Amino acid sequence: MKGDFDVIVIGAGHAGLTAAICAAESGASVCVLEVSPKNVRGGNSKHTRNLRPMHESALHPLEGSYGFDEYMDDLLRVTDGETNQALATLTLEASANSVPWLKDHGVAFQPPLGGTLHLGRTNAFFLGGGKAVMNALFQCADKLNITVVYEALDIQLDVDNGVFRRVDYSHQGNTEHLTAASLVVAAGGFEANLEWLAEAWGDAALNFLVRGTPYNRGDILRQLLAADAVQIGDARQCHAVAIDGRAPQFDGGICSRIDCVPLGIVVNNQAERFYDEGEDFWPKRYAIWGRLVAAQPDQVAYSIIDSQSAGLFMPTVFPPVEAPSLRELAEKLGLPQESLSTTVDTFNHSIVEADFNHQILDGCHTQGLAIAKTHWARKLDKPPFRAYMLRPGITFTYLGVEVDANARVKFNDSTCTSNIFAAGEIMAGNVLGQGYLAGIGMTIGSVFGRIAGREAARHAR
Ligand SMILES: Cc1cc2nc3c(=O)[nH]c(=O)nc-3n(C[C@H](O)[C@H](O)[C@H](O)COP(=O)(O)OP(=O)(O)OC[C@H]3O[C@@H](n4cnc5c(N)ncnc54)[C@H](O)[C@@H]3O)c2cc1C
């Protein structure tokens, strides 16, 4: 082994720490460089709730079984085949060890709480959420004498012909240099870099809210692509949902979710409906609403319900805007009053009476509208009326670097075997070309974190 360390890991999220721990457990000396300060550490991983492991029989906290074929069918459906089959197979198979590995490293699990997504069979929920996961992994890293440098700013990689030579960065005002036999990149996607997003989405991206860390700006990804790493995925592919428009620009996390969309109507800032709010159960549809709102003028929309929907959806962090009449609601929201009244009147008159039941696909639908509502359609006529402003909330991007089954980054035209490995969001596009399957983000980080750490240590030896 040579260099200051055997392995340097960039990014101290779930994928990076998993890699660091596996490398250290393989006997390597490991240094993790993290741009964020310690008090906000944990990247996007700190916001998570669950991962999706394959299991042939019940595996606490998971009920029943979720076998390879069903999992692969789900993945192929959401990605529409946009996945590397070999890496997808590897991910699914290795995911069977994710829960035991995390338990061995101090992570506790719990059954899903009532009212959350109905994922008790497919998704293992972390006790204490992602923050508890990250705290457990940082504790492990500490016990393994892994060096973690927080506020490692402006990291510059020296990569020559696909081979990592050294890293320069600034720390507490000093310029530092480190060398290592292997490098693991686990610095997330570029979802917090609105300017980069705007290259793909146009100026609309400047109105996006970022659900996670402000530090995933894609700087390491850009450097690798500039050093001729093979790019995977498309800059427009990402996970985005519609969230409370009052959420902060960054790091709002999961509590900014708005779950009442299927119970009422959603209008744009012209007070016009633009999509079937009752297409399917919300957990199956919520991930398409980020893009739908992104396509509306000023990237804003309003979810409108009446008093009948109170208590039928997860409570929100911020209270709704409320008014005794639609006109007053429109005024408070800054929507055209005539237009909102017309939209609601037309909607109310189109409803085919049936038994409303928000727990099943109840068939309560509209008739004769250009944009139908196919379930849970009932008149909005019981004041007070309530509304939530929605904005697109980007979760993470899929464009990344291509890897092989050893998590080794591929380079165009390189004549050398690279000593650079990747894990997590920065390579998630290998498995997730488009669409999303709840819990697969952490699954990819868990699987490729373990592979990258093990292989980086092996390469160093
Ligand atoms: C609100 C929210 C909820 C989510 N819920 C779930 C869920 O329940 N289940 C699931 O599977 N997925 C979920 N995801 C997605 C999940 O967070 C990611 O797929 C996963 O955390 C990625 O792990 P990672 O280690 O690659 O990235 P991260 O955890 O984001 O870690 C990347 C790290 O790299 C650091 N970094 C970035 N750039 C640099 C740089 N230039 N130099 C040094 N360090 C750098 C960052 O500061 C960060 O600490 C959620 C995401 C969000 C935002």
Asked if 37 and 184 sit in the same domain, the reply is yes
**Residue that terminates a domain, selected from 362, 393, 424:** 393
Q: Please state whether the peptide bond connecting residue 283 to the residue before it is cis, i.e. omega within 30 degrees of 0.
A: no
239 C-alpha to center of ligand 1: Å?
Answer: 12
Quote the ligand 1 centre to 227 CA distance (angstroms). 23
Give the pTM: 0.94
Distance of CA 238 from the midpoint of ligand 1 (Å): 13
Of all protein residues, whose CA lies closest to atom 10 belonging to ligand 1?
439
Local confidence band at 282 (pLDDT 50, 70, 90 cut-offs):
confident
Structural contact between residues 228 and 402, judged by C-beta atoms closer than 8 angstroms: no
Query: How far is residue 432's CA from residue 14's CA, in Å, rounded to a whole number?
Result: 18
Task: Determine the atom of ligand 1 nearest the C-alpha atom of 210.
Answer: 53
Residues 353 and 437 grouped into a single domain:
no
Q: Is 11 in the pocket of ligand 1 (CB under 6 A)?
A: yes
Q: How far is CA 240 from CA 211, 327, 435, 440, 441, in A?
A: 9, 31, 10, 15, 13
Q: Which of 44, 183, 224, 398 to mutate to test the pocket of ligand 1 (most atoms within 8 A of CB)?
A: 44
Is the pLDDT reported for residue 13 higher than 70? yes
Q: Is 211 in the pocket of ligand 1 (CB under 6 A)?
A: yes
Do 273 and 383 fall within a single domain? yes
47 and 254 in contact (C-beta within 8 Å)?
yes
* Together in a domain, 218 and 89: yes
The residue among 383, 107, 93, 396 whose CA lies nearest residue 233 is 396
> Which residues partner with 184 through β-bridges?
9, 421
pLDDT tens digit string along 180-234? 999 999 999 999 999 999 999 899 999 999 999 999 999 999 999 999 999 999 8
Predicted local distance difference test score (pLDDT) of residue 117: 57
Q: How far is the CA of 58 from the centre of ligand 1 (A)?
A: 28
**Nearest-CA residue for atom 13 of ligand 1:** 48
| Together in a domain, 315 and 402 | no
107 shares a domain with 18: yes
How many whole angstroms separate alpha carbon 263 and alpha carbon 276?
A: 11
Report the separation in Å between the CA atom of 305 and the middle of ligand 1, taken as the mean of its atom positions. Answer: 33
Distance of CA 297 to the CA centre of its chain: 25
* Selection from 427, 422, 429, 426 nearest residue 450 by Cα: 422
* Nearest CA owner, ligand 1 atom 21: 45
How high is the pLDDT of residue 436? Answer: 87
Helix (H/G/I), strand (E/B), else coil: 340: helix
Residue 370 lies in a domain: yes
The reply to whether 47 and 163 lie within a common domain is yes
Domain that includes residue 388, residue range? 262-393
Of 93-97, 132-136, 232-236, least confident by mean pLDDT is: 232-236
Q: What CATH number did the domain enclosing 67 receive?
A: 3.50.50.60
User: Residue 308 has which token pair?
Assistant: 């009948």
- Residue 301 resides in a domain: yes
- Rounded CA-CA distance 262/281 in Å is 8
218 lines ligand 1 (CB under 6 A): no
Percent of all residues in the chain with a pLDDT value above 90, rounded to a whole number:
89
pLDDT, tens only, 312-370: 998 999 999 999 999 999 999 999 999 999 999 999 999 998 899 998 999 999 999 99
Ligand 1 in reach of 186 Cβ (< 6 A): yes
The CA 396 to ligand 1 mean position distance, Å, reads 8
Q: Are 179 and 326 within one domain?
A: no
**Cα(210)–Cα(241) distance, rounded to whole angstroms?**
10
Q: Whose CA is nearest to atom 4 of ligand 1?
A: 48
Confidence of residue 161 (pLDDT cuts 50, 70, 90): very high
Q: Is the CB of 47 under 6 A from ligand 1?
A: yes
The pLDDT of residue 435:
87
Final residue belonging to a domain, choices 393, 411, 440: 393
Count Cβ neighbours within 10 Å for each residue of 237-252 and write b for 16 or more, e otherwise.
bbbbbbbbbebeebbb
Residue 247 within any structural domain of the chain: no
Q: Are residue 156 and residue 213 in the same domain, yes or no?
A: yes
In a domain, 200, yes or no: yes
Together in a domain, 187 and 218:
yes
Q: How many domains does the chain have?
A: 2
What integer best gives the mean pLDDT of the chain? 95
The angle at the Cα of 282, spanning 281 to 284, to the nearest 5 degrees, equals 75
How many angstroms does the Cα of residue 45 sit away from the middle of ligand 1?
4
Would the CB of 441 count as within 6 Å of ligand 1?
Answer: yes
On whether residue 73 sits in a domain, the answer given is yes
Residue whose structure tokens are 């209270």: 319
Per-residue pLDDT band at 294 (split at 50, 70, 90)? very high
Spell out the residues 6+ positions from residue 338 whose beta carbon is closer than 8 angstroms to its own.
none
Where is pLDDT greater, at 1 or 200?
200
Q: What is the pLDDT of residue 287?
A: 82
Same domain, 213 and 301: no
pLDDT of residue 115: 54
13 alpha carbon – ligand 1 mean position (Å): 6
34 band by pLDDT with thresholds 50, 70 and 90: very high
Structure tokens belonging to residue 320: 């709704």
Confidence of residue 114 (pLDDT cuts 50, 70, 90): low
Q: Which residues sit opposite 322 in a β-bridge?
A: 386
Q: What is the dihedral of CA 253, 254, 256, 258, to 10 degrees?
A: 160
Ligand 1 centre and the CA of 54: distance in Å?
22
Q: Could you tell me if 403 and 423 lie in one domain?
A: yes
Question: Is ligand 1 within 6 A of the CB of residue 74?
Answer: no
pLDDT > 60? residue 124: yes
Q: Is 187 in the pocket of ligand 1 (CB under 6 A)?
A: yes
The answer to whether the CB of 400 is under 6 A from ligand 1 is no
**Given ligand 1 and candidates 9, 31, 41, 48, which is best to mutate, with the most ligand atoms within 8 Å of its CB?**
48
* Ligand 1 pocket check for 189: Cβ under 6 Å: no
251 in a structural domain: no
Q: How many whole angstroms separate alpha carbon 46 and alpha carbon 129?
A: 7
Say what percent of the chain tops pLDDT 70.
Answer: 98
Among the candidates 393, 423, 441, a domain finishes at 393
Q: What is the CATH number of the domain that holds 280?
A: 3.90.700.10
- What is the structure's pLDDT at 1? 38
On whether residue 115 sits in a domain, the answer given is: yes
Between helix 14-25 and helix 129-143 the angle, nearest 10°, is 30
In a domain, 272, yes or no: yes
